[in-house]
Amino acid sequence: MALLIQTKQNVDGQFGPSVMANNLIGGSDAFKGEEAYQYNVGDFQVTVGFYQGIGRYACFTKGTFDPEQFAPVDVETCLELIAPLGQWQSSTEQPPAAAPPVPTTGSNPGPVGSLSINDPFKGPPGSAPSHTGPAKPSPGSPSAPGGAPKPAPPPPVVIGGIGTTSDFQCTIKGANGNDVGVLGWHRTTKPYVFVYCPLMAPPQPAIAASPMVIDANFGQV
């Protein structure tokens, strides 16, 4: 039996007693009747969100907020509680790669990630200098007459630490035999796996879950 699109009575019968939990989505007038309950499922705790008694999202955690606890086999175990693995499709988005450090000239390279600026009068390393005299101070530089020191440019921003994101989708059968789409994701830097049904038959309102919303509920922003 799929964990989602089931009544709370059916979920209780499969996974045993539950305790009330905080809603991870909703919270507005459009989601009155939303309740969440936490179940212990093997090595996992799963928070299931019910709207009018029907489960439509599930968030799996492992008790402690250690992202490394979710190995690929753990993610597969969570997905299997929604649908057989053969029904899932997945895609993985790699984090943006940081730009390689620019080597500095001379025998003492700078720290990793530092920038080296070539002297425009000397040309690239190994080339002959294009002048024989000292470089003239540019207007506005500290050594120019009447010049004022300019503020240093901001350091380059390197985007990183967001980990690898895997997105999942499948289709399961509703109680009336209609197909219901399921979406989900897991990021290697976050300690949970989240799956949900964005569209369900009326009177279920559509939901739009996002990593930012779920992270905020876990205090992970």
Q: What confidence tier does 157 reach under pLDDT thresholds 50, 70, 90? A: very low
pLDDT confidence tier of residue 12, bands split at 50, 70 and 90 = very high
171 occurs within a structural domain = yes
Q: Considering just the CA atoms, what is the radius of gyration of the chain in Å?
A: 27
The mean pLDDT of 79-107, rounded to a whole number, is: 72
Beta carbons within 8 Å of 217's beta carbon, 6+ residues apart: 22, 24
Contacts of 103 (CB under 8 A, 6+ apart): 109, 116
Under 8 Å between Cβ of 33 and 44: no
Residue 107: helix, strand or coil by DSSP?
coil
Structure tokens at 11: 């979920």
* Four-CA torsion 70, 72, 78, 81, nearest 10 degrees: -160
Is the Cβ–Cβ distance between 70 and 191 less than 8 Å?
yes
What is the model's pLDDT at position 151? Answer: 58
Give me the helices (H) in 46-120, please. Answer: 72-80
Q: Is residue 167 part of a domain?
A: yes
pLDDT at 219: 56
Look up residue 155 and give its two tokens: 């350091």
* Residue 147 included in any domain: no
149 found inside a domain: no
Q: How many domains are there within the chain?
A: 1
Q: How far, in Å, CA of 86 to CA of 48, rounded?
A: 23
179 vs 1, residue with greater confidence: 179
Q: Which range marks the domain in which residue 83 is found?
A: 8-95+160-217
Name which of 60, 93, 58, 62 is nearest 182 in CA terms.
58
- 136 assigned to some structural domain: no
Q: What is the model's pLDDT at position 173?
A: 87
> Does the bond joining 203 to the residue before it have cis omega, within 30 degrees of 0?
yes
Q: Is residue 211 part of a domain?
A: yes
pLDDT single digits (tens) 73-90: 999 999 999 999 999 999
Q: Is residue 186 part of a domain?
A: yes
What phi, psi does 86 have (nearest 5°)?
-65, -15
Is 107 part of any domain? Answer: no
